[in-house]
Structure 1
Amino acid sequence: MDESFLRELLAKPTEVEWLEFKEAKSNFHFDELGRYFSALSNEANLCKKACAWLIFGVTDKTPRQIVGTRYRGDSDGKGLESLKQELAKKTNHEITFSDIHQITMEGKRVLVFEIPAAPHGVPTTWDDTAYGRIGEKLRPLTIQKLEAIRLQMGQADWSAQICEDATVDDLDERAIQFAREKYAEKHPHLFDEVSNWDDSTFLVKSKINRPDGITRAAVVLLGKPESVHHISPAVAKISWLLRDADGNTLDYYHFEPPFILAVDPLFDRIRNLTYRYLPDETLFPTEVSQYDSWVIREALHNCIAHMDYSTGGQITVIEDKDSLSFTNPGDFIPGTVERVLTRNAPSETYRNRCLAEAMVNFKMIDTIGSGIRKMFTSQRKRFFPMPEFDLSARREIAVRIYGRVIDERYTRMLISQTELSLFDVVALDKVQKGNALTDDEYQSVEKTEAGRRTSVESASLCRCCCLD
C-alpha cells in the first residue's frame, strides 16, 4: 500500500459499493465499524473483488479532502493490532482485517482498512447479522444479495461434478455393498426394493451418483484407490499419526478411498485405553474408555463430508497421549461453534451437498444438524472436557477431543450438578482450560457452585478468564 494506490481510491466515484471513506477525526463507534466491515466484505464478494476498503481521515463527499485521523493513534501501534482481534470476536469465521495501513498524506495520518471479501457462498456477518449497502446507507443484506452469495456454494458443489471417463468399474464392489446395507437400514420401507436394484440404479437412488455419470462424491466414498486420478488435482487421503509427548511421530498410516470402508480401520488404530477416575470422597471410582467411539466417528465423518477438497489438502488425525485432533481444510460454514450449540438446527448451506446427502443416506452423518451438539453432550455425560474447535487458521478447521480429565473440580461439578445447561458446562470448561469468557459466560459461571464459592482462588480463576 502506497500513496499512489490511495490516490487511485480517492479518485473513485461515490457509488463504488466496496469502498467507503470516513473522516473519523478522533474516534469511530466500534459497532458501526463492525457493520461496515460486514457490508463491505459482502459487497466485495458480490462485485468479485478480492477485498474492500474502508478509509479513515478523508471526507466522504467529493471532491474528497484529506483531514487526517487520530483513531487509535498510539505510538506503538498496539491499538490497531488489538482491533483485529476485537473485531474477529463478533464476526463469523473470526474473519478480520487483512491489514491496516497507516499512510501520511499532505502531512496528515490516513488509515486504510483492507477488508477481505466474504468467503465463497458464506455472507460475512457482524453480531449474527449480514449487512450490505443501499446507496450510502448500511442495512441488513437484502434477500436477493443474501441468496446471491449463498447460491455460490450451490453452484460450486465440488462433490456433485461428473468425473469424465469414470464408470461403475472405478468403484469398489465391497464399498457399494456396504453402502447398500446402510441405505436399507436408513430406509427400511425400501428394504426389498434395494436388494433388487442394480448398482447403477442404487447409486442414483442413494443420491451419490447422477444419471449422466459418476460423481466426485462417489469416487471419494466408494471409489477404488486407483480411481482417485479422476478427481485430480484434489486429494482424497486421511493420515493418522501417533505422537509422543514431545510431538515426535511414533507411527503413521495413510488411508485412501473408498472412505466408507476406511473409517473402521482408522478407528482400530486408535489406542482407546481404559481411563480410571481416581477414588475420592465424592468421586466414585469409575472406568470408561478414553473416547466415545461415536464421537470419533462423527468427527471423522464431518471431516469427510465438509472438507474443501478443491484446496488439494487432506484430513489429518493426530493421536496424542491424552487427546485426538482432527484437521481438514475449509471454512467453518456455520461461523461459530456457539451458534451451532445454541440453534441446534441444520445448516442452511453445505459445501459438498451431494456428498453430505449420500452420507446421510448411508447413516454416516446426521440429517438434523445436531452432530456437533451430540459430541458436546457425550463428553459431558462422560464428565470429560468439551471438544475444542480451533477456527483461527484461515480455511482450516481443527477439533480436539480430550481423553482424560483436566481438572477434577470440573468433573465433580458435572457429577454433582446435573441441572447445569450445556451453555453452563461449556463456560466452566473454558475456566478449567484458562480460556477467556464472554460476559454471558461469566454470568453463567457465577451462578454455579464454583462461582458462588467465596474462596479467593475460585473467584480469581473465574475473573482472570473473563473478557473485560
Structure 2
Amino acid sequence: MTPKELLLLVNEGEGATVEFKKTTTQLHAAFETICAFLNGKGGVVLIGVTDEGKIIGQDVSDHTKLEIASHIAKLEPSAQAQIEVEYIIVEKNKYVIVITVNQGNHIPYIYDGRAFLRNQSTTTRMSQHRYEQLIVERGQLNHSWEKLFADKKYTIDSLDHQEIYRTIEQGVRFNRIPSEALQDSTEDALIRLGLVENRQINNAAIVLFGNDLFPTYSQCLIKLGRFRGVDKLSDFIDNQQIYGHAFKQLSEANNFLMRHLPIASLFQEGQLERIDKPALPVLAVREALINAICHRDYSNQSGHVTIAIFDDRLEIWNYGTLPSPLKIVDLKQKHHSHLRNKLVSQIFYNRGLIEKWATGIGKMLSLCKEANIPEPEFEEYSDGFEIIFRFAEPISISIKRSGTVVELSLRQQAILNIIKKHRSVNIQQIMLDLKSPPSRTMVKRDLDHMKKNGFVSLKGAARNAVWVPGKH
C-alpha cells in the first residue's frame, strides 16, 4: 500500500471492513477485529490512526514485529496465509501498521480462545450457537450432523420402506443408481445410499425417510400459511404444520401450493376455451421448495421451513444461512455448489429432483424471466435464508371473466369443475371428489365466495342443500 492509498483509505473512515487503532497498546482489540474479518468478508486494520481519522503513526521496532507475530499465532486455525502486514512510513521514524485480512478459508476462526464477528463498524463476540453452526459447516468435526447416528429409539423399521423403494426405483430410472440395486433388501439399499452403518441408521436417514418424528426430531417440520393481505398481521386463510420426512413435506407443500396459487384465466368474447396461466412458474417454485428442504440446517431442533403466501408474493424460508463462503451476491452469478447436507442432497439428485449441482438458482431466474415476472429476491435473516417470488399482479385479482375481476384459487376452480360435472352436488360429495381436501369449513368458505360472485348457486336447505352451477 502506498502513502497515497493509505490516505484515501483513512479518509473513507471506519466501517464494516476498516478499523483504526491509535497504538500497538491496542493490539489485543485489533486482533479481535482481525478475527472478525477472517470470519466475515475480510478487512484492514490500521494501527497509528486515531478514532477521528488522524494519522499519527508510531514507532516500530523488532519487538513490535515480534509482538504482532505472536498475536497472529493466537489465531486458530492458522491464518498466516490470509494476513499481510505492511509498515507505511508517514514521517521520520513513524509508521502506520497496515494489517490486511482476507476472508478465511476455514471459518470459524478464534483469537485467544474466542470467536468474533463484525457488525457494521463494531466487533462483537460470536454466539456459541453460531460458532457450532460454522464448525459443522467447516467439517472439522468427525461427522457432520447428518452423518451422526440417529436417536437410539429409531431403527431401520422406523423408516418409510415404501419411500426407500421408490428412491431406488427412481434412481435406476434416471441412471443414477445401478439396476442391481432393485434386488437389494431394505438394509442393503440403505447401506448403498450411505444411510446405515453397523445396522445403525444416521440422521440423514431420519430426515429422508423417518416416521413418527415429533418430538425427537421436531426440526423435521414445514409451516404452511396463506395470509389475507400483504403481511403476517393479517388473518390466516389457511394454516398448517406438517411434521414428517423430506418427501412427505415436499408432497404436502406441493398440495398446499396447488390449492392456493391461482391460475390467471382470461375468458374472451366469442371464445369458449379458457386461457390458463399460473401466477408463478411452477418449476421455479418447485426448485425453490426443493432447495429449502434439501439444503437447510437440520442441526437445530427449533429449525424448520416456512411457506407463506400473501396477496402480492410467495416467501419460502428455511433455517440455516448460506454455507460459507457463499454470499447472496454470488447467487445470480456462476458459482460452485456448497452442500450442507451431502447425503440428503445426493438422494434428491438420485431421484431426479436435482438435475445438476449449482444450477437451481439460475434455473429459477430464467423461468421467471420467461414468465415475465420479477426475478426472485434473496434475503438472510433470523439465522435463515429466504426466496421471495413476487406476483406480476396481486392474486386477489387473478381471474378475469367478461371484464369482471374476481378471485378464484386453484381449489375453487376444482370445486367449480366438480359442480359442473355433477350438475347438482352436496358438500360431502365435493369433498370426496377433491384431491387433498381441506376442512369442511374451508370448502364452505370457498363455496360462499363463489356463490357471492355468481359462479355457483345453493338450492335447498340443511341436509337437502345442493350446489349447482351459477349464471356467471
Which sections of structure 1, spanning at least 5 residues, go unmatched?
Answer: 1-5, 53-95, 101-112, 124-147, 280-284, 407-468
Mapped to 1, the partners of 2:54 and 2:265 lie a distance apart of 55
Task: Please tell me the residue identity of whatever aligns with 1:22.
Answer: I
Report the number of matched residues. 308
Cα deviation digits, residues 247-276 of structure 1 (max 9, x gap):
321211122222213322321222232225
TM-score (norm 1): 0.56
With over 3 angstroms needed to count, the CA separation of the structure-2 counterparts of 1:295 and 1:120, relative to structure 1, is farther
Deviation for aligned residue 1:186: 2.6
Which residue of the other structure, out of 329, 336, 352, is the alignment partner of 2:327?
336
On the 8 A contact 2:23/2:48 being kept in 1, the answer is no
Inter-partner Cα distance in structure 2 for 1:307 and 1:9: 43
| CA root-mean-square deviation | 4.2
With normalisation by structure 2, the TM-score equals 0.55
Aligned counterpart in structure 2 of residue 241 of structure 1, from 225, 230, 239: 225
In structure 2, give the amino acid aligned to 1:172: D
Partner of 1:354: 343
Q: Could you say if the C-alpha distance between residues 245 and 304 of structure 1 is closer, same or farther in structure 2, counting changes exceeding 3 Å? A: same
Distance 1:116 1:174 in 2: 44
Residue 330 of structure 1: how far off its partner (Å): 1.0
The match for 2:250 is 263
Richer in helix (by share): 1
Aligned to 2:311: 321
Deviations 1:373-400 (A, max 9, x none): 1011110111111111112x25211111
Whole-angstrom distance in 2 between the partners of 1:149 and 1:303: 18
- Distance in 2, matches of 1:189 and 1:324, equals 35
Equivalence for 2:194:
207
1:162 corresponds to: 149
Checking the alignment, whether the CA contact within 8 Å between 1:204 and 1:211 is kept in structure 2 is: no
Distance in 2 (CA, whole Å) between partners of 1:174 and 1:318 is 30
- Report the alpha carbon displacement of residue 319 of structure 1 after superposing the two structures with TM: 1.3
Contact 1:160 1:216 in 2 (8 A): yes
> Percent of pairs identical after alignment?
16
Matches within 5 A, 1:84-99: 96-97=118-119
Output the amino acid matched with 1:51: F
How far apart, CA to CA, are the structure 1 residues paired with 2:177 and 2:192? 14
**Matching residue of 1:179:** 167
Q: Matches of 2:164 and 2:187 in 1, distance apart?
A: 10
Distance 1:190 1:208, change over 3 A: same
Q: Secondary structure at the match of 2:119?
A: coil
What is aligned with 2:390? Answer: 402
> Partner of 1:385: helix, strand, or coil?
coil
CA contact (8 A) 2:35 2:111 kept: no
Indicate which of 337, 343, 353 corresponds to 1:364: 353
State the secondary structure of the residue aligned to 2:331: helix
1:292/1:378 contact within 8 Å kept = yes
Partner of residue 208, structure 2: 221
Alpha-carbon distance in structure 1 between the residues aligned to 2:54 and 2:330: 28
Which of the pair is proportionally richer in strand?
2
What is the CA-CA distance between 1:357 and the residue it aligns to?
Answer: 1.9
Mapped partners of 1:220, 1:28: distance in 2: 56
Letter in 2 for 1:50: A
Alpha-carbon offset, residue 230 of structure 1: 4.9
Between the aligned partners of 2:30 and 2:280, the Cα distance in structure 1 is 58
Seen in structure 2, the aligned counterparts of structure 1 residues 24 and 8 have a Cα distance that, compared at 3 Å, is: closer
Please give the secondary structure, in 1, of the residue aligned with 2:114: coil
Deviations 1:402-457 (A, max 9, x none): 23259xxxxxxxxxxxxxxxxxxxxxxxxxxxxxxxxxxxxxxxxxxxxxxxxxxx
Q: Quote the residue 2:47 is aligned against.
A: 22
Partners of 1:326 and 1:209 lie apart in 2 by 31
Alignment of 1:365-384 (within 5 A): 365-384=354-373
Q: What is the rounded CA distance, in whole Å, between the counterparts of 1:272 and 1:379 in structure 2? A: 15
Task: Return closer, same or farther for 1:172/1:242 CA change in 2, 3 Å cut-off.
Answer: same
Structure 2: give runs of 5+ residues left out of the alignment: 1-21, 37-44, 56-96, 269-273, 395-472
What does residue 413 of structure 2 align with? Answer: none
Compared with structure 1, are the counterparts of its residues 304 and 42 closer, same or farther at alpha carbon in structure 2 (3 Å cutoff)? closer
The 3 A distance-change label for structure 1 pair 116 and 377 is: same
> Bigger radius of gyration, 1 or 2?
2
Partner of residue 81, structure 2? none
